[in-house]
Structure 1
């Protein structure tokens, strides 16, 4: 059956790979602790019609399909399952249109986020969602996980910029959702249903994206505080002030120490927290940054640095961009992304510190403090099985704490397999059953990314 299926694929598609070494290199995304199966083959279609043919053949042969983009995800959503067909969108990589008049871009899912951002900027436009993996992650992957990024505190996440989608269903049928204009409320919002569904409802082959005018030049401020409480209070005051920072980031003391150990940036080791804030309002950014500095000082800042130009702004933000590299050198990283109401941030951070003590693991907690989306990161030695077990327990305890505080288990990384068991807790039995009915309506044979999101 395997050989017959692959022969049928090759009759309709030029790029079909069954070399075991190549397949092995495509089994995983970037998540740790997520199992990956052995795929049957890898296909790289170049058109919607080819995706349709692939899905028709897969449905006829009852072969599961796992769609992949840049495989930069952190939840195992793009991991292979045994006997599956890997459908890579990397060759569906064309920017089909950029309209200055309508302020939209029409793109295929394999377009890399950074490539799109640069292309629209040349026309004076801006695509705001900017996950940290933007130089590698694709628009299709961003849609699959409803990705966010540093600037979502002002501009929102991926779903806020998706006007419409072209989607190939498990049957091979094509459905177009949404519409090009900014307004349109006819029917159920299938577009938002598909965004964030992690490849379990269909294969996105085209997306119409909303754009904005390019932002003006930006300036940055950095403030250090003696305690977590002072830093969080300052962040809350900035958000309540009427200012709309384009970035508002938090670094706790363990993260600051890790960054300083990784690269000497003159970061103090005796502070409890640091805030990084940015305004992208051009000439008005000077006043914005000054007001942010005043707010931080009023809330106990030990020191506040205000950038005067783009170069100084980049220097201040460098600490935030070094977080992942600084933590990865310390051991294996297990990255969480719980979100809670801003009013619960201090309780979350104190609780995370207690969890680290209880399970005797290192937990670092940088995050997007402006919208309550934190990234508790458990770091441990992979060669120590006991440490690994404690790390997994701590990871679960962090998610449980986030839910108890009225939050969610994921703000932007998705569910995949890493958090599937916790999704049931968050949704409740009625919500979970509705999810299963929706999945069955789109994919009655359960061929699209089976075992992901919903167990």
Structure 2
């Protein structure tokens, strides 16, 4: 360790290094439960590409693992420290380097906060669509590492669709440029997409070229209450089947609705079994909401409430935005799953999750990006009770198994980290895992970049 610190200090300003154990512990983990956490040897907070390169050259020379981090808002343990590692926190590399309205791109460092970028490009009449629920605190580098999504994905897509090019520091300290800043480009293998979702296991993203869109009109939101989750899912499928393109299509089950009522006094009827929220940012959103309202009524909605103004729309969306916080108030701990299924199987996913909650004697609330089939079952449990903790973990596994049985995937936007390593192997199969490990070895032959994550 003395050699490690001496070599790091030779190429880094003193203020970039943290060695106080009491401070380092705050950098040791992300927000996931049931994930192992180690004690780092040092935390480094670089400000320049050259400083990141120095860290990686030092780590390669000494065979020391490096764990890249953003804001640690992740939910899979991907940012958790391992014993004796260098935690490389990129939050101080937070500059927006360029915004081009002509090329419709932004060039940013990895520590830029998602919301800060969104507000900056809005001043130019532009829009960066990916909006994870933690958008006020999560960083672009973290979004790229986990291929994150958000509420607007049903219309605008996920992070991977907006990352045009990257600068990446490789394990040995070399700087790699991938991708482009042009509207089109197919030169060679798509290494840019390879890094998106790689959870820091292939290289350290130090710069990103991001695609932007023209800022859309303000959206209007409709809320529809249903007497059953099946009816709500039927409405979701009908909306998509009939060619509508909402900017948001979300669902909350009974447990989530009641938790939100308890936290925010939202006044939602306690008889509501499922709440669907639909939004449009089209030139005539009121007409689109009227058409969707009829679809919801035909599917059995007991109440349909369209907003007349953006302010009213924001009030309706408050319920969805506080869902996870409200569910966290139910018990001392939560596990947030991230299973995505085909839209046509969304009803089966919700019914199956309810049956799992009953089988394990636990409260499990579901909020979902319904238009994508991306569900977030939230397992609520008492972490001080060993038996309840065991049942929580088993129910979490049962939910992932259900998702695979329904033709889905174990993660739509949260990533694998350490939490879902076993399940990644089940989803990809032995050939898929072998090839992915081969890619990892090509980029990181010493296995020092975020080792133990994904595989």
Tell me the TM-score range normalised by the shorter chain.
over 0.9
Question: Under a length normalisation based on structure 2, what TM-score does the superposition of the two structures give?
Answer: 0.98
Distance (Å, rounded) in 1 between the aligned partners of 2:273 and 2:31: 30
Q: C-alpha separation between the residues in 2 aligned to 1:99 and 1:261?
A: 45
Give the Cα–Cα distance (whole angstroms) in 1 for the partners of residues 244 and 116 of structure 2. 30
| Distance (Å, rounded) in 1 between the aligned partners of 2:269 and 2:345 | 26
Q: Deviation per CA, 1:209-244: give whole Å up to 9, x if none.
A: 000000111100000111111100111111122221
Q: Distance in 1 between matches of 2:299 and 2:354?
A: 22
Match of 1:319 in 2: 319
Counterpart position of 2:3: 4
Measure, in 2, the Cα distance between the counterparts of 1:177 and 1:313: 40
Q: Residues 153-232 of structure 1: matches in 2 within 5 Å?
A: 153-232=154-233
* TM-score, with length taken from structure 1: 0.98
CA displacement at 1:292 relative to structure 2: 1.1
Q: Does 2:49 correspond to 1:53?
A: no
Equivalent residue, structure 2, for 1:112:
113
Runs of 4 or more, structure 1, over 6 Å off, are none
1: CA distance between counterparts of 2:362 and 2:280? 36
The match for 1:447 is 448
Q: The residue matched to 1:266 in structure 2 has which SS?
A: coil
Aligned partner of 2:89 in structure 1 is 88
User: CA deviation digits over 1:296-317, x for unaligned, max 9?
Assistant: 1111111000100011101111
Shifted more, 131-140 versus 231-240: the winner is 231-240
Q: CA deviation at 1:348?
A: 1.0
**Which residue number in structure 1 is paired with residue 98 of structure 2?**
97
Pairs aligned (count): 452
1:284-340 deviation digits (Å, cap 9, x = unpaired): 111111111111111111100010001110111111011112111111110001000
2:93 and 2:325 mapped to 1: Cα distance? 31
Deviation at 1:271, TM superposition (A): 2.3
The aligned residue for residue 237 of structure 1 is: 238
Give the Cα separation in 2 of the matches to 1:226 and 1:32: 33
Alignment partners' CA distance in 2, 1:306 and 1:424: 44
Name the counterpart of 1:254: 255
Please name the residue that 2:285 is paired with.
285
Query: Which piece of structure 1 moves more, 42-51 or 55-64?
Result: 42-51
Q: Name the CA distance, whole Å, in 2 between partners of 1:383 and 1:173.
A: 46
Task: String of CA shifts for 1:31-56, please: whole Å, max 9, x gaps.
Answer: 11111101000111111111111100
Tell me the secondary structure at the aligned position of residue 365 of structure 1: strand
**1:296 corresponds to:** 296
Alpha-carbon distance, 1:263 to partner: 2.3
Partner of 1:399: 400
CA root-mean-square deviation: 0.8
Measure the CA separation in 2 of the matches of 1:361 and 1:273: 19
